[in-house]
Structure 1
């Protein structure tokens, strides 16, 4: 994936996070820049988790383990990015909504994008 593809993917992810913040109670995003930084932090944390545990446990993967990891990544990311407020229930609901949105707008993870260029 080229640089422009990554930029577009992060912008789409930020828009999705803002939509999720509007839909999900107990999940609030301060603005577009907070959502963009949150998308970046979630991507980096996901890349680290997927690199350590392998592709089957990635936060964007299917299954209960991927869902739980996704909720934990969202919850942890709030401590890195300012302007974000998430409770554990909000992170679980956000992971569910993001998973549903991902069914309609699939995006490759940073780990997959890095492996496909090699």
Structure 2
């Protein structure tokens, strides 16, 4: 086997790995929404200036947060994990929480609530397995 054959094999393996990372199932998506909803509910409970009126607002907020996180990660490469990505991840998480206020009815958060909520989400995200935000 010459060097060209090895390079072709390595390219095939990389492309297959990339496709596996890009593709995810409906079940995986629903699990992410559920984990995000749990984390956001816990954050709202412990954060002053952060309220969610009902379960439907919570579920819609989880979807919106997931979509915003995905879009920001896709276009900027910044992952919105408050502690896993340092200051930039913390700020992105706070901004996502605050912007969600304008999209989801029944999701109310102040600027300070978004900042404290991002801290709480970082702590809860470290405890609960899965990708919450």
TM-score (norm: length of structure 2):
0.74
Measure the CA separation in 2 of the matches of 1:34 and 1:78: 10
Which residues of structure 1 form unaligned runs of 5+? 111-118
Aligned: 1:100 with 2:126: no
CA gap 1:93/1:109 in 2 versus in 1, 3 angstroms: closer
Measure the CA separation in 2 of the matches of 1:49 and 1:30: 26
TM-score (norm: length of structure 1):
0.83
Name the count of aligned residue pairs.
108
Q: CA deviation at 1:5?
A: 2.5
Which residues of structure 2 form unaligned runs of 5+? 1-23
Measure the CA separation in 2 of the matches of 1:25 and 1:46: 23
The residue correspondences of 1:1-118 to structure 2 (distance < 5 A) are 1-54=24-77, 57-60=78-81, 61-108=84-131
Q: CA deviation at 1:106?
A: 3.3
Task: Flag as ranges the 4+ runs of structure 1 deviating above 4 A.
Answer: none
Return the index of the structure with the highest Cα Rg.
2
Q: CA deviation digits over 1:4-49, x for unaligned, max 9?
A: 2321221222122122111100000111111111011011111111
